[in-house]
Structure 1
Amino acid sequence: MATHWRNPFRRTLMRRFHDNKSLLAGISDLGVLQEFVDEAPGLLSLLLLLGLSALGVYMGWMTPTVVADRGLELLSTTFIFSVIMEQIITSSGLTHVMMFHFRWFGVQLNPHFMGVDLKFFFIRAGMMAWLFINLSLLAKSYLAGSVNRAVILYQFFCGWYIIDYFIHEEFMTSTWDIIAERLGFMLVFGDLVFIPFTFTIQGWWLLGNKMELPLLASVANCIIFLIGYSFLCPSQTLDWITYLVFRGANKQKHLFKKDPKAPIWGKPPKVVGGKLLVSGYCVNKIEPAYTFFSSQRMKKNAREAHVGKYSVIPYFYPTYLLILLIWRERRDEARCSEKYKDIWAEYCKLVPWRILPYVY
């Protein structure tokens, strides 16, 4: 039996949020989410925040190394904030829920506050914080005279990835996190704490460990990174190469959700039961998002490869991503099997490979 925290302050706070009609358990409607992204683009918010920060540094209101200098304080404060936010969001969705399952996975699917989709808000905050931590680490490395090829490549790879995310933020409206995951501690902590403070492990490591990266190794890392993005050939006639791994899978799934009749690689899409796509990347993958995760691993491996020779710590990221990939695939399998039943069984016969063809 779950025990309840009989704190009068907490009960008062929760009652205020229960009465607030602007905090609602929204439904993950693609059109509504698309409208939110169009009206408040994340890229514009990022550029505005970068501009204000640059102004603050120029005016002497802050130092460019302030984030790197106070990393531990920021980590602990953000962790406490994520716990408080989880309490508010979960308690506003279901009264007196203290069970671990609901606290971890959440109760509400797409809660909104004053018209703001909280999932997108937290994801944006985490991605922006990732970039700001990296830029602060870069400034600290520059002042210490330790900027070398490894630091430049790391900053370039991460910066490209983050900016690319905001440019193609529209694709997030059809991803697992938005349409299926409820907003609980797992997502709040993951977005606000895990993304900015663990995805920068390589940057922190490079700050305290000077290393020289050979030119050949730099070229190899760039090739791996570019393969993960597959932006090697921007020709419209070679679109299947352009989006081979990363954007192709996400874009394909997103466009199918918007228009189920949209052509896949120039041909009509093949669909099972009128709902499940078996064309394009779905021919070899049960869920096209896993192609995205595979390319993610390639890009992460590129970032870690140039420091992994000296330490195993930077390999935390690809190791975590592999575990997440398998865990999410198993959860997706259970969810889709329950939702689609016989249609899912037919789908699995046509698409037998879960992640990697002929392997798993």
Structure 2
Amino acid sequence: MASPSTVKTLSPSDPHAITEALNPKTTKYEFAGPLGALAVSVLTPGLLYVFHLTCSELAGGCPPPLLSLPSTLQSTRWLNALWDTNAFFVYLGWYAYCVLCWKLIPGDWVQGTTLRTGEKKLYKINGFSTGLLTLGLVAGTIYRNGPLAFLYIYDHWLALVSASVVFAIFQACAVYALSFRKGALLALGGNTGNVLYDWFIGRELNPSFSWLDNINFDLKTFNEVRPGLILWMLNDISCMCEQMVRRGRHAWPTDSMILINLFHGLYVLESLWYEKNILTQMDITTDGFGFMLAIGDLAWVPFSYALQARYLAFTPRELGWTLSTIVCILNFVGYYVFRTANSDKDAFRNGKNPKNFKTLKTKRGTELMISGLWGMSRHPNYWGDLMMGLAWCMTTGFNTPITYFYIAYFTVLLVHRAMRDDEMCRKKYGDDWTEYKKIVKWRIIPYIY
């Protein structure tokens, strides 16, 4: 732990001159360049609306009859649900609440990785406390006033989606404009000079503000673990309350609804508990903060990841003991793989090797793990993540393919991320990486991929 005064941090007010050598021109595009960036920028928020069109009572089912879609699209009920000014301010209030929690709740100050300037940023870690406080307030509200008191999210779902999309666009535009100020450290992949692409991928590496008592507020890490992740839990809870109200006074939610809330809740709380571990992840160390991360953190995570809970709210389903047991085993085995792999990786990166893993020495002087879970695949944590994701989808049964979108999307996401990581490591380690891949042959799932 460190205090804000013990380590020099970069902020917009720092007089350090960031030279062109530190901010080189980006010469290579990802995501198929500007056209790909445009496609993702349109498709990502668009899919959030498509989910509601193809899987909701408003649409008439999940999926709805094809003949009903034209009338649904023309329905004033659908159009009216798209925007609600009050819901927009509710969303802004939620974001402001998360900022206040970051500011007021005590937390450790943790150093991030070394920047190209040779300096390190400090990050305040109190996401878990924020999550517990929020759950306590929600639980108290429901206990005192019943499940009817927490239906706002479910009843204003589309309007809140729109609010999050608008706010993500605003943030992306703001940080893009601010990235041109003197002293901004740019992301190596976001300085192409193409406005659309740089706006999407993120031009500045770590947009930060020091207007809160001169304490550094890092927007990217804040968005990564606070407003979106915790809202995901609240979305699930609101869906559970909706189901309980429909089932009648004093009715319990279905086993499937309980399980999806349990699985998602544990995943979110685990992420908040290990908040400091994100400081070594690609999103923080390499990617700039632009629309890609803003829309993902603020809109995609809380609303697309809650698709199973929303489906179960209007399509209650009892899994029974057999299927519930299978789903639980799949989820918790996946969690074991995910948590064990991440813990081993984090300990190893911090210079520890408590399990005496075999390693491959590189010419850079660093070592790569080649035994344990990390000897079975190059990304065993992704393998565990996919097992959990499949378990979440299975809570909805097998009557619709739409609620299985998550596992399909996450597979593509993790495969793409593994490919990006492989390319970065190839440049970083050279021939040593080729040798490493001969030892650890599988990218994610042993003997499959």
**Does TM-score exceed 0.5, indicating one fold?**
yes
| Unaligned 5+ runs, structure 1 | 1-18, 231-244
Alpha-carbon distance between aligned partners in 1 of 2:240 and 2:167, rounded to the nearest angstrom: 26
Question: 1:276-327 CA distances to partner (integer Å, 9 max, x unpaired)?
Answer: 41333332323xxx21121111111111113241111110000001001111
1:331 corresponding residue in structure 2: 420
2:331 corresponding residue in structure 1: 225
* Larger relative helix fraction: 1
1:235 corresponding residue in structure 2: none
- Match 1:257 to one of 339, 349, 362: 349
TM-score (norm 1): 0.80
Report the secondary structure of 2:207's partner residue: strand
Whichever residue aligns with residue 21 of structure 1, its letter is S
The answer on 1:162 being equivalent to 2:268 is yes
Question: 1:68-108 CA distances to partner (integer Å, 9 max, x unpaired)?
Answer: 11111110011000001011112222479553321221112
2:73 corresponding residue in structure 1: none
Question: 1:206-231 CA distances to partner (integer Å, 9 max, x unpaired)?
Answer: 1111222121111111111111122x
Name the count of aligned residue pairs.
319
Query: What are the within-5 Å matches in structure 2 for residues 120-269 of structure 1?
Result: 120-123=221-224, 124-145=226-247, 147-230=253-336, 245-259=337-351, 262-267=352-357, 269=359
Is the 8 Å Cα contact of residues 34 and 173 (structure 1) preserved in structure 2? no
Question: 1:7-61 CA distances to partner (integer Å, 9 max, x unpaired)?
Answer: xxxxxxxxxxxx9538x99x98338989524xx310111122334445666589x
Alpha-carbon distance between aligned partners in 2 of 1:340 and 1:325, rounded to the nearest angstrom: 22
Is the 8 Å Cα contact of residues 272 and 346 (structure 1) preserved in structure 2? no
- Match 2:167 to one of 65, 76, 81: 81
Is the 8 Å Cα contact of residues 112 and 123 (structure 2) preserved in structure 1? no
Whichever residue aligns with residue 118 of structure 1, its letter is L
Query: What are the within-5 Å matches in structure 2 for residues 47-66 of structure 1?
Result: 47-53=132-138, 58=144, 63-66=149-152
Alpha-carbon distance between aligned partners in 2 of 1:197 and 1:119, rounded to the nearest angstrom: 19
Whichever residue aligns with residue 131 of structure 2, its letter is L
Alpha-carbon distance between aligned partners in 2 of 1:184 and 1:313, rounded to the nearest angstrom: 29
Report the secondary structure of 2:340's partner residue: helix
Identity of matched residues, %: 28
Which deviates more, 335-344 or 204-213? Answer: 335-344
- Match 1:109 to one of 205, 210, 215: 205
The answer on 1:46 being equivalent to 2:137 is no
Alpha-carbon distance between aligned partners in 2 of 1:310 and 1:200, rounded to the nearest angstrom: 18
TM-score (norm 2): 0.65
Is the 8 Å Cα contact of residues 112 and 122 (structure 2) preserved in structure 1? no
Is the 8 Å Cα contact of residues 174 and 253 (structure 1) preserved in structure 2? no
Alpha-carbon distance between aligned partners in 2 of 1:211 and 1:122, rounded to the nearest angstrom: 34
Pair 1:337–1:20, CA change in 2 (3 A): closer
Question: 1:249-299 CA distances to partner (integer Å, 9 max, x unpaired)?
Answer: 11122122221xx2252356443232241333332323xxx2112111111
Two-structure CA RMSD over aligned residues (Å): 3.0
Is the 8 Å Cα contact of residues 382 and 444 (structure 2) preserved in structure 1? no
